[in-house]
Chain A
């Protein structure tokens, strides 16, 4: 039988340290404070994945709007009388999501390039400020273009 280790033995103390295992996305993540720069970071991924998933729809819009007068009319009717099983309202919502994703990815991408070129842009304070600017610019333009899309002006 091995000798019993005393409480002050380094081996015993080391084994009593708190353990950090993988965090759970549902029970742990909501309690984490996410700074605005972190929000921009995860939104960059979300908007990128959204654009990737909707790429065939983007190609459809590109195809129908360009190919002929008849296809252009089909392109327009998607916004007035719907597409396939989706009513026009859903089509507009999806296009609005595309507009948001593109703007978010575009402005956050500019911020990325700026931070690659300038050391001054890579500070905690400026990182937060530029992240706020990205958020405001993308949301503001999304609202303006969304209002146009839904015929508010």
Chain B
């Protein structure tokens, strides 16, 4: 990548919007596929869904890694989406910044919680 700091730093440009747009689509597809994978396992499991089967689904390392990727996708997706909402409806800069900081804290906290749940299983 070309130099993007100091006097060479790009501060404006169309690619900012494109990057957000594209990342929201890609993360949406990842989460959508995950939804289908989890639903398929729940629907096609035999007998009542108890703790053993539910926890068993997430016990495999590949499922933990996939779920982790989905959690990261979720954080990114929600960040782009909430930022869009704030940019459209919240005009005072102080309030918008405060809400954006709150969103980052809210999301990273939930992300950390998800990782803890996954890898102590």
Chain A interface residues toward B at CB < 8 A = 45, 48-49, 51-52, 55-56, 58-59, 62-63, 65-67, 69, 72, 106, 109-110, 112-113, 116
Contact = CB atoms under 8 A, between A and B. Distances in A.
Interface residues of B, number: 24
The B contact surface, by secondary structure, is helix
Interface string B71-102: 00000001001100100000000000000000
B44 interface: no
A116 B51 contact: no
The A contact surface, by secondary structure, is helix
B117 A63 contact: yes
Interface in B27-59: 28-29, 32, 35, 50-51, 54-55, 58
Contacts of B58: 66
B113 A109 contact: no
A110 B110 CA distance: 25
